[in-house]
Structure 1
Amino acid sequence: MLSSPKYLIRPMQPTDLAEVLRIQAACFTELLPESEASLAAKLQAAPSHCWVVAATAEPALAAYLFALPWRAESPPALDAAECRLPEQPDCLYLHDLSVDPQARGRGLAQALVQRFLDGLAASGLDRACLIAVQNSAEFWGRWGFQPAPQTPALRVKLASYGPQAAYLEHWR
């Protein structure tokens, strides 16, 4: 589970949410952070797809990732108080990946993306989806995520993610 000698990737726990909120607040500059209730609902719905990076010498978290088995054409609403997984998911949806600004440059995002892609392979699903925010589409492109066609309903959902939001897919 080690991503480096100083960091440990482990499953997210409900007790991690205060630290997740701290990192989220530091990272989101173009849209409002999600509430603790929304993040707790996502964690409860898909605990095997939510991860944190903990510094082995400190109690503070350095990064986190939320993912959900979902339907590709209908990403979850931002800051929803409830999270009910669809009965027949067709993708693993990467909802949020954030790295504490003070921990950047240490390969933590890459380690979490690799953990996500390993989870995609283990899930039996062929596709990963995400909404790139804050001009992050280039970062995701390095991992094989490409722009996907957008339905009118998807464009409406994208609007809540900010003006630069891009819907991306990755096929295994």
Structure 2
Amino acid sequence: MPWRPMTVADLAPAFTLACAIHVDFFEALEVMTDKLAVYPAGCLTLEMPDGELSGYAVSHPYARGRVPKLNHLLGGLPADADIYYIHDIAIDAAARGRGHAETAVDLLAAHAGDAGFREVRLLSVNNSEAFWRRRGFSAVEDEHVDVTSYGLDAIYMRRIL
């Protein structure tokens, strides 16, 4: 399986990939480093057979009705963490279309369930809502969440496990 736990050595290539993919959603290397330090079990890398890093996933426990602001350090997990939050899944263009993103979602959802969470949440950006709906997510319409740092088209979504 090409997905494996992220290590500190993966941060620089993952950051380079993030900068290339998320042009409109920049986060500093320190932010990715912080998320790995705070919750390493939720960080994965997609390593291809040639050893190249072609993707990454960052996730962690968080609190219902809130989202981490873009390009801000977590500094720790909230004491009231009651949902599992997928912060980012990014796949290099050359590795897309092979089911890697779907596999990452399945791995993270399984981890969330094993960790005792019954709900996974995320923000859909870059017109990715259809992808997330196919993975069992739906828009959260009964809560107001500040998503302004992610743009006007961001959609707060959830999947019940």
Q: State the TM bucket, normalised to the shorter chain.
A: over 0.9
Aligned-residue Cα RMSD (Å) equals 1.3
Q: Deviations over 1:116-136 (max 9, x none)?
A: 111111011110000000010
TM-score of the pair, normalised by structure 1: 0.88
Displacement, 1:150? 5.5
Local SS of the residue matching 2:32: helix
Displacement, 1:108? 0.9
- Distance of aligned partners of 1:150 and 1:26 in 2 relative to their CA distance in 1, 3 Å threshold: farther
Equivalence map 1:78-117=2 (5 Å): 78-117=70-109
* Aligned residue number for residue 56 of structure 2: 64
* Aligned residue number for residue 28 of structure 2: 35
Q: Which runs of at least 4 in structure 1 moved beyond 6 Å after TM superposition? A: none
Distance in 1 separating the partners of 2:147 and 2:74: 19
1:24 counterpart letter in structure 2:
A
Distance in 2 separating the partners of 1:94 and 1:159: 17
2:48 counterpart letter in structure 1:
A
2:148 counterpart letter in structure 1:
A
Distance in 1 separating the partners of 2:48 and 2:92: 11
2:150 counterpart letter in structure 1:
Y
Distance in 2 separating the partners of 1:150 and 1:41: 31
Aligned pair 1:20/2:20, yes or no? no
Question: Could you tell me whether the CA contact under 8 Å between 2:35 and 2:73 is conserved in 1?
Answer: no
Question: Could you tell me whether the CA contact under 8 Å between 2:124 and 2:132 is conserved in 1?
Answer: yes
Question: Could you tell me whether the CA contact under 8 Å between 1:72 and 1:93 is conserved in 2?
Answer: no
- Distance of aligned partners of 1:110 and 1:151 in 2 relative to their CA distance in 1, 3 Å threshold: closer
Distance in 1 separating the partners of 2:81 and 2:22: 28
Aligned pair 1:126/2:122, yes or no? no
| Structure 1: unaligned runs, 5 residues or longer | 3-7
Distance in 2 separating the partners of 1:90 and 1:17: 27
- Distance of aligned partners of 1:82 and 1:170 in 2 relative to their CA distance in 1, 3 Å threshold: closer
Aligned pair 1:51/2:44, yes or no? yes
* Aligned residue number for residue 150 of structure 2: 161
* Aligned residue number for residue 5 of structure 1: none
Displacement, 1:76? 1.0
1:36 counterpart letter in structure 2:
L
Displacement, 1:56? 2.0
| Structure 2: unaligned runs, 5 residues or longer | none
